[in-house]
Structure 1
Amino acid sequence: MSFPFFKPSRPKTPQEVTKAIKDSLMALDIKTISEVKSLEKAMEEVEKNFVAMRCMLSGDGEIEPNVDQVLQLALEISKEDVISLLIHKLPDLGWEARKDLVHCWSILLKQQMDSRYFCVEYIENHMELLDFLVACYDNKEIALHCGNMLRECIKFPTLAQYMLNSGSFVLFFKFVELPTFDVASDAFSTFKDLLTKHGTLVSEYLTAHYDEFFDMYEKLLTSSNYVTRRQSLKLLSDFLLEPPNSNIMKRYILEVRFLKIMMTLLKDSSKNIQISAFHIFKVFVANPNKPREIKIILAKNHEKLVDLLRNLSVRGSEDEEFEEEKELIIKEIELVSRLQILKC
């Protein structure tokens, strides 16, 4: 008995993979119930084409990706407006397709030739795609996928700058307190990256939006949610004490309302929050140019503050340094108090 000779199918080119992805994504547009079967078939095609994209970009475990093909695929996907489709169709995709897309997304963004990042350039010309991804935090089915994609975008200064200055940035103050813990945590990770990845950009943003930003941030620091208070306080230390933000910090530590917030957090029931609050509170106290209003509050509350600080301690290798800092701050508070009494 003879068997027919089967010739293995020819691997698709980057152009063919791109066309197949585009056609299958566009086929997801159905308007009537009668087209449900067509939709199922289109979804299968999307998943099959995403697997092909993933294999071309990162190999299949046995064969390494071809560098030229990876570059060409990124170029084709940008040229054919597939990036826009990938983002806008995200809510319609199945779980496997979303997972493959997130995996491919970071690889696509990194592809460059002659210092040109094809996919990043495309997004720069269609910045509304970033607003769409941010708004997707309201959809818990795709929130984590969008978060991953956004954090990859934030690595590029032009995209991060747009996000900081976009109207959608303020949505993060809502998203970090969403009732779904995983989504809120993911939103906070993206929020943190925006405020810590590009120091100079953040400094420029905070300078231009100082009052608006810190009014909103105050609500996070005083939230009834323990996780929100703890995370936002730690993040405040992370970006406020960075060298590019020195002028922002100098302005922040002149304001009585922010000192009062730190004093309240020093009394928090959580030891972790107390410790984090101390590291910002100490900057108010150590400031050699403390305004009169700050000195009056420190003097009026010096006994309670000293008691709080005496009872505050950390464990481990940081203990000695922490105790030294604490003693210096206590001495400064007592000195301020004595000087205020003499003035009276």
Structure 2
Amino acid sequence: MSFFFRAASRPRSSQQDLVRSIKDSLLALDTKTGAKALEDVEKNIFTLRQTLSGDGEVEPNQDHVLQIALEICKEGVLSLFVQNLPSLGWEGRKDLAHCWCILLRQKVDESHCCVQYIENHVDLLDFLVVCYKNLEVALNCGNMLRECIKYPSLANVSFSLPSKCMYEQLALFCSFRYILESNSFELFFQYVELPNFDIASDALNTFKDLLTRHEDAVSEFLISHYEQFFELYKRLLTSDNYVTRRQSVKFLSEFLLEAPNAQIMKRYILEVRYLIIMMGLLKDGGTSMRNEKHCFCITGWPATMIFKVLATTGPELNAVLFVTMTHGIIIYSLADRKVFVANPNKPRDIIQVLVDNHKELLKLLHALPASKGEDEQLDEERDLIIKEIEKLVRLSL
């Protein structure tokens, strides 16, 4: 981190003066002159925003931007930004979040200096997550968190470390991985159900980024935290809130159909407890849950998502999907890319659940309206599922 002090012997620049002014005004917020300090803070942050992104007429000087990023890390201003975010007014918070995103992108000697600073001060990430509870700053914090989640590369070594107390490894954790591993991550299962729609939607966007942006790391996390994660996710799938259920179903199909998550998907579809949840969702009173793009096959996978994956990916992913589904109900034919409900290796407990519930399942499947447009293949798939269930019932007699 010696680059933080590279310019120490030079005369102070206007960039250094700006950072010092920001720091001094932030520190003064808790003093008797707090009102005046708040005015100074917001003026300084507005100046910082113009310096980092230009004023619409003059483009920013990249050398000045880099110098500011280094000074902000050297002076610990990133910590002050986060700690004092709730004290700022609406414009000040918006300007600060904008500056935060620009600062994190700055590279010096191939290193993101501000990202490194955050990785050494991971309590800032916990603070940002907790701030979702604050109605006034939640959206700003969500924007800042999603910027942090973009940077996993600086701490890949942490993935191969032996199991130790998490806090012994904090300096090595990337911000993305740290959020997944921290207790704060569980809060997102609460935030996506907050009564404020805008905040709940923003929290869901952050939650999605955490589980999709870095596929290999997410796969490792889900494998090692399978029971804990899906027990929490089950609450979303069975939520009293219809919007939460629908969004959770849609997102589950998206991130489990990612190629690195093939092992997790295989395990998930073999569990009766999750089959029962999906059967319950098939009965959901919401029309969209039953006959739009989230209409479920008996395994619980949205049929249109299956067709989209097979239509837009290469043979490698198709093969992965074929292998992972051979113990479920649906098998993919790579030759003609149709979905067949004819797997001879269905687990006995899965078969029993289908047979025991065949009357209601068949009633629901027959009641689904005809598909339109790009989803016409759903009709064929539904008919195949119906025939397979009827076959299972005959064989059980």
In 2, Cα distance between equivalents of 1:28 and 1:316? 60
Q: CA deviation at 1:303?
A: 2.9
**How far off its partner does 1:66 sit?**
0.7
Q: Distance in 2 between matches of 1:188 and 1:73?
A: 33
**Which residue identity does 1:27 align to in structure 2?**
A
Cα-to-partner distance string for 1:239-287 (whole Å, 9 max, x where unaligned): 1111111110100011111001100100111122224250552575316
Within the alignment, does 1:40 sit opposite 2:59 as a pair? no
Tell me which protein shows more helix as a share of its residues. Answer: 1
Q: Is the 8 A contact 2:53 2:60 kept in 1?
A: yes
Distance 1:129 1:40 in 2: 25
Give distance in 2, aligned partners of 1:336 and 1:199. 37
Partner of 1:106: 101
Work out which of the residue numbers 201, 210, 228 in structure 2 matches 1:194. Answer: 210
The alignment status of 1:285 with 2:340, answered yes or no, reads: no
Residues 1:142 and 1:200: Cα distance change in structure 2 (over 3 Å): same
5+ residue gaps in structure 1? Answer: 1-11
Letter in 1 for 2:330: A
Paired residues for 1:190-339 under 5 Å: 190-275=206-291, 276-278=294-296, 281-282=300-301, 284-286=328-330, 288=343, 289-313=345-369, 315-339=371-395
Q: Kindly state the Cα deviation for residue 114 of structure 1 after the two structures are TM-superposed.
A: 2.9
RMSD: 1.6
Is the 8 Å Cα contact of residues 233 and 277 (structure 1) preserved in structure 2? Answer: no
Unaligned runs of 5+ in 2: 1-12, 153-173, 302-324, 332-342
TM-score, normalised to structure 2's length?
Answer: 0.78
* Structure 1 residue identity aligned to 2:384: L
Distance 2:372 2:108 in 1: 49
Q: Distance in 2 between matches of 1:135 and 1:262?
A: 32
CA distance in 2, matches of 1:338, 1:72: 75
Aligned-partner residue type, residue 41 of structure 1: K
C-alpha separation in 2, matches of 1:221 and 1:314: 25
Is the CA contact 1:286–1:332 (under 8 Å) kept in the aligned structure 2?
no
Compared CA separation, residues 321 and 277, structure 1 to 2 (3 A): closer
Question: Residue by residue, what CA displacement relative to the aligned partner does 1:71-91 show, whole Å, maximum 9, x if unpaired?
Answer: 111111112111000001111
Partner residue of 2:52 out of 49, 54, 57? 57
Q: Report the CA distance between 1:199 and its aligned residue.
A: 1.0
Aligned residues: 324
Distance 1:171 1:314, change over 3 A: farther
- Residue 195 of structure 1 aligns to a residue whose secondary structure is helix
Superimposed CA distance per residue, residues 54-110 of structure 1 (whole angstroms, 9 cap, x where no aligned partner): 011110011011111111111111121110000011111111110101111111111
Amino acid at match of 1:246: A
Match of 1:22 in 2: 23
User: Residues of 1 paired with 2:14 and 2:362: CA distance?
Assistant: 71
1:141 aligns with 2:136: yes
Structure 1 stretches of 4+ moved >3 Å: 313-316
Instruction: Work out the CA distance in 2 between the residues paired with 1:182 and 1:211.
Output: 30
Q: For 2:87 and 2:109, how far apart are their aligned partners in 1? A: 35
Matched position secondary structure for 1:202 = helix
| Deviation larger for 275-284 or 317-326 | 275-284
TM-score between the two structures when normalised by the length of structure 1: 0.90
* Aligned residues of 1:285 and 1:333 also touching (Cα < 8 A): no
Q: Using the TM superposition, name which of 289-298 and 126-135 deviates more.
A: 289-298
Q: Shift in Å at residue 336 of structure 1?
A: 2.6
* Mapped partners of 2:64, 2:391: distance in 1: 69
Which residue is 1:9 aligned to? Answer: none
* Partner in structure 2 of residue 169 of structure 1: 185
> Is 1:91 paired with 2:97?
no
- Indicate how the Cα distance of structure 1 residues 146 and 223 shifts in structure 2: closer, same or farther if over 3 A, else same: same
Counterpart in 1 of 2:317? none
Match of 2:338 in 1: none
Paired residues of 1:295 and 1:336 also in contact (CA < 8 A): yes
Is 2:109 the counterpart of 1:119? no
- Distance apart, 1:315 and its partner CA: 4.8
SS at match of 1:205: helix
Match of 2:296, as an amino acid?
F
Residues 256, 264 of structure 2: 8 Å contact kept: yes
Deviates more, 1:230-239 or 1:327-336: 327-336
Shift in Å at residue 179 of structure 1? 1.9
